[in-house]
């Protein structure tokens, strides 16, 4: 206690290494999680954050209250955080642990609350309307907090309100480890003097736009209803959320709609190396497709060059998914959309989506027999990877 500590992360490029690395599959799904996980908890600060050339890499993903007192914030570079707080202890992430705890927390909440919506890996909305009486909701929140600490040893903060976004805002004022209830009659007074940057979803650009109208606080927003409603859906949505009148439901998220993976690296001009990395990413997606038991019919690829130049495209297919065909199509797609061959590439993203609905999809019968053979081989490879690790089988193109 009393020591400024932060967790930092960096783009996981060790999937491109030729050495075998132990990786885990996350049971979570959604935009806020990475499905392929590597454990780094055995690495020192120098091993994880410092490159051979001595350059410090990575960004802060979370910080203790002691670290925040020095100005250390989420999304700040590790080097900037160390400049603000030289004695800051920055530790590598342990993604398998975070995902296991997230899953356990979700299961616990689903047993205690009728409707749960996972907002991020460590944030959940819960709707207890008609389940818990208004006069009992604060004590219920404290009971849930105590149960989570008892079962999972996780200290948490809880914000309670009629509006999900006001509840999220209230949670910030319940920290650390508190439970805060904000009644409908208290919302106006609560938001009156809060800076606009405090509200979830108001980023720097939106702040600048609002400030150009003289809007500095959330209370100011309430005074400008006509202005926000003139901005149509985005403006109306923000106004209603800030005022606590959005009536947006807590929604249990359904099945995932896509499976994707991407990586960012230093500017890379060698196209052969880029293609090698694409093939490796395809292997990882193929494993996830197999585990998810889906048949994607759309493959998408995005390329980001230096100087913020981007290129993207997709293909639709009617083939049974198999790793060999997927790799071939992504390589073709790359060669098609690599429209700036003289520019270095800094990021690629691959997505498999449009999962097959057997009642609406007609498969390509001319390739069906070959696809069945490839599918059988693909299943055998994925079973080996499931048992012995994702790196147990690699194709020549990856080496």
Q: Which of 110, 117, 123, 329 is catalytic?
A: 123
Give the three-class secondary structure for 391. Answer: coil
Torsion on CA atoms 36, 42, 48, 51, rounded to nearest 10? -120
User: 323 an active-site residue?
Assistant: no
Q: Which helix (H) or strand (E) covers residue 61, if one does?
A: strand 59-63
What residue has token string 């809060």?
Answer: 194
Helix segments in the chain, DSSP class H: 45-49, 65-68, 78-84, 95-112, 137-152, 164-172, 187-191, 204-211, 218-223, 225-230, 232-243, 271-292, 323-337, 368-388
Q: Count CB atoms within 10 A of the CB of residue 151.
A: 12
For the chain, the residue count is 399
What's the CA angle centered on 159, arms 156 and 165, to 5 degrees?
A: 125
Q: What is the DSSP string of 46-60?
A: HHHHB-TTS-B--EE
Closest CA to 26 of 264, 283, 291, 351: 291
Count CA within 13 A, CB hemisphere, residue 382. 23
Q: What is the DSSP string of 259-288?
A: EEEEEEEEEE--HHHHHHHHHHHHHHHHHH
Burial-class residue 63 by CB neighbours within 10 Å (0-12, 13-18, 19+). Answer: buried
Task: Report the catalytic residues.
Answer: 123
């Amino acid at each position: 206690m009393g020591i400024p500590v932060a967790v930092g992360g960096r783009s996981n490029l060790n999937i491109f290494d030729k050495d075998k690395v132990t990786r885990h599959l996350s049971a979570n799904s959604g935009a806020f999680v990475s499905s392929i996980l590597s454990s780094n908890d055995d690495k020192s600060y120098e091993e994880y954050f410092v490159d051979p050339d001595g350059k410090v890499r990575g960004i802060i993903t979370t910080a203790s209250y002691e670290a925040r007192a020095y100005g250390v914030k989420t999304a700040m570079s590790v080097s900037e955080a160390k400049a603000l707080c030289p004695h800051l202890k920055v530790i590598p992430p342990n993604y398998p642990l975070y995902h296991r705890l997230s899953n356990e927390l979700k299961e616990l909440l689903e047993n205690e609350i009728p409707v749960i919506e996972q907002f991020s890996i460590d944030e959940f909305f819960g709707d207890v309307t008609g389940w818990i009486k208004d006069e009992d909701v604060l004590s219920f929140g404290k009971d849930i907090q105590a149960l989570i600490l008892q079962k999972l040893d996780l200290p948490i903060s809880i914000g309670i309100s009629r509006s999900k976004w006001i509840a999220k805002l209230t949670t910030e004022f319940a920290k650390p480890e508190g439970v805060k209830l904000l009644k409908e009659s208290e919302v106006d007074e609560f938001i009156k003097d809060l800076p606009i940057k405090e509200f979830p979803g108001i980023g720097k650009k939106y702040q600048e736009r609002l400030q150009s109208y003289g809007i500095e606080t959330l209370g100011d927003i309430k005074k400008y209803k006509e202005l926000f409603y003139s901005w149509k859906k985005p403006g109306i949505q923000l106004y209603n959320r800030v005022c606590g009148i959005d009536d947006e439901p807590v929604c249990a998220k359904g099945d995932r709609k896509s499976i994707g993976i991407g990586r960012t690296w230093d500017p890379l001009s060698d196209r052969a190396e880029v293609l090698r990395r694409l093939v490796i990413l395809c292997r990882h997606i193929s494993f996830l497709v197999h585990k998810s038991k889906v048949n994607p019919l759309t493959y998408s690829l995005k390329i980001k060059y230096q100087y913020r130049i981007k290129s993207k495209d997709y293909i639709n297919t009617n083939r049974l998914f198999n790793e060999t065909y997927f790799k071939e199509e992504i390589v073709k797609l790359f060669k098609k959309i690599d429209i700036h061959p003289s520019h270095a590439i800094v990021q690629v993203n691959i997505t498999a989506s449009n999962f097959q609905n057997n009642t609406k999809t007609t498969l390509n019968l001319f390739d069906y027999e070959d696809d069945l053979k490839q599918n059988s081989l693909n299943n055998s490879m994925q079973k080996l990877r499931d048992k012995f690790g994702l790196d147990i089988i690699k194709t020549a193109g990856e080496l």
